[in-house]
Amino acid sequence: MDKLSTFYKHMLADLWSRLISLYYQPKNDGEADSPPVIYSILKQTKLVDLTEDKAVVECENSGVKMFLEKKVKDIENKLFTLTQKRIKITFSIIEKKTKKTPPLFSFQSSIENLLANAGLPIKYSFDNFAVSSTNQVAYAAAQAVVANPGKNYNPLFIYGGVGVGKTHLACAIGRKILEQNPKKKVFFCPGDLFINELIESIQEKTTQQFRKKYRRLDVLIVDDIQFIAGKERVQEDFFHTFNSIVSAGGQIILTSDRPPNEISKLEDRLRSRFLGGLTVDIQPPDFELRTAILLIKAREKGIVLDIEAAKIIAEKVDDCRALEGTLLTIYANFFIKEKKEKIDLEVVDSFFSQKEQNNQKKITVNDVLKTICSYYNVKISQIKDQTRISNFVFPRQVVMYVLREHLKLKQEEIARLLKRKDHTTIIHGVEKVRQLILKNPLIKEEIDTILKNLSLST
Ligand code: ADP
Ligand code: MG
């Protein structure tokens, strides 16, 4: 496959997964919450072709196809929010390839097969993992585990915020161990998969098989173990799985969005097991690391990216996942549309200034009201009401703040919109929120979420 078609596939996959995530963002608080059906169904589909005005989405079977066809308008609207283009979606059913009969003996399984059997994504390895001050401790711990799996740090518990590279690092360990010794039974398992498989095996009375599969492993990696919180039966089984693997000399690697002592509704005996190995954290990537990651991602996708341009992107975008998304969007906009050969300063500059313009002109007062009201679960009429009930006062002040600071509306104008007689109320409200943001990180997070929702809703 040439570079361009590899890139094209990446781009489609990335766009599609961003669209799917508009339907549901898994919560990070470890509580069980179930995604909407359409989300789960969309996850089984693939965007396989995309032009300026048409998209083809591949479905597993006709049931999925029929379900999605009923929702096509909504999906097209979501696609519009991401691409700013009216694109018509059609659904097709995967053509089943006739199964090739496997060769009688296969002497050597390629690394791809090994990885696939272990559930490890091919894209994550140490070779494409950049190290800087924010992740060097975790990296060193990972290396120590690779050198002596099952011996030193059991479990290795890696925690950190979204997109800091936990999954990447955990997978890289599994891969390296397999490369060193292809006979090792390595298995990578997203936390929710482990839970679902166990629940299924209980329903279908196949727990024996489930146990056999997990308890005989040399290396078990469970990604996002925090999902186990509050699930007693699953914790019980995981406790035994954990013990059998460790006592047989195997290695356990866990990732989580928080350290073991902050996972609520976790049995004490599991918590103490988790803390019994080595717990390391990964901090949000610093500027150098973000630049390095961009350069790595660009190289992998066959995109020519100037280092100066990478630095500008790294300055403006601070989370890893968004880095990759931004890179792909810029590439799609300039390489494919304008036939630029590389991403340089000029391209980046015009991308960000276009984006700025779009942002400014698109968000309306109504968007602000709707987003904030739905966030705080109040009605727009309650915001515009004179009542001083505290449930409405704060959301109202947030509205003032966003209209003033982000839409740059005049105080008088805001007063009129919110039916306040006097614009000093607005000055007071805006100032109050501004102070709270400075003092209280939770409030800051709240406002950031609102602003994010706001830019998604337009
Ligand atoms: P997490 O599991 O912590 O949410 P991921 O491992 O999924 O984060 O990382 C998000 C994205 O950022 C992935 O594409 C990953 O390859 C990339 N990434 C994160 N950290 C690094 C790094 N140090 N070097 C290279 N890529 C990284
Ligand atoms: Mg992850």
The number of the ligand nearest the C-alpha atom of 124 reads 1
Q: Is the CB of 226 under 6 A from ligand 1?
A: no
DSSP 8-class letter at 56 = E
Could you tell me the distance, in angstroms and rounded to a whole number, from the CA of residue 409 to the centre of ligand 1?
Answer: 39
Closest ligand 1 atom, residue 131 Cα:
23
Q: What is the pLDDT averaged over residues 135-155?
A: 95
Please tell me the distance from the alpha carbon of residue 369 to that of residue 389, in angstroms, as a whole number: 18
Share of the chain above pLDDT 70, in %: 92
- Best probe residue, ligand 1, of 320, 323, 326, 327 (max atoms within 8 Å of C-beta): 320
* pLDDT, position 329: 85
The yes-or-no verdict on residue 202 having pLDDT over 90 is no
Q: What is the pLDDT of residues 233-250, one digit of tens each?
A: 999 999 999 999 999 999
Please tell me the distance from the alpha carbon of residue 146 to that of residue 135, in angstroms, as a whole number: 17
The yes-or-no verdict on residue 12 having pLDDT over 70 is yes
The yes-or-no verdict on residue 103 having pLDDT over 60 is no
As given in the structure block, the two tokens for residue 60 are 């597993």
Burial of residue 219 (number of CB atoms within 10 Å: 0-12, 13-18, 19+): buried
Q: Which residues surround ligand 2, an ion (CB under 5 A)?
A: 167
Cβ contact 166:155 at 8 Å: no
Q: What is the pLDDT averaged over residues 139-166?
A: 94
The yes-or-no verdict on residue 3 having pLDDT over 80 is no
* pLDDT, position 198: 86
Please tell me the distance from the alpha carbon of residue 70 to that of residue 79, in angstroms, as a whole number: 16
Cβ contact 221:187 at 8 Å: yes
Q: What is the pLDDT of residues 170-186, one digit of tens each?
A: 999 999 999 999 999 99
Flag the least confident range among 284-288, 310-314, 384-388. 384-388
How would you label 80-91 residue by residue, b for 16+ Cβ within 10 Å and e otherwise? Answer: eebbeeebebeb
Residue 215's nearest CA partner among 252, 172, 164, 160 is 252
Q: What is the pLDDT of residues 324-374, one digit of tens each?
A: 889 988 887 776 667 778 888 888 988 888 877 776 666 789 989 999 998
Q: How confident is the model at residue 108 (pLDDT cuts 50, 70, 90)?
A: very low
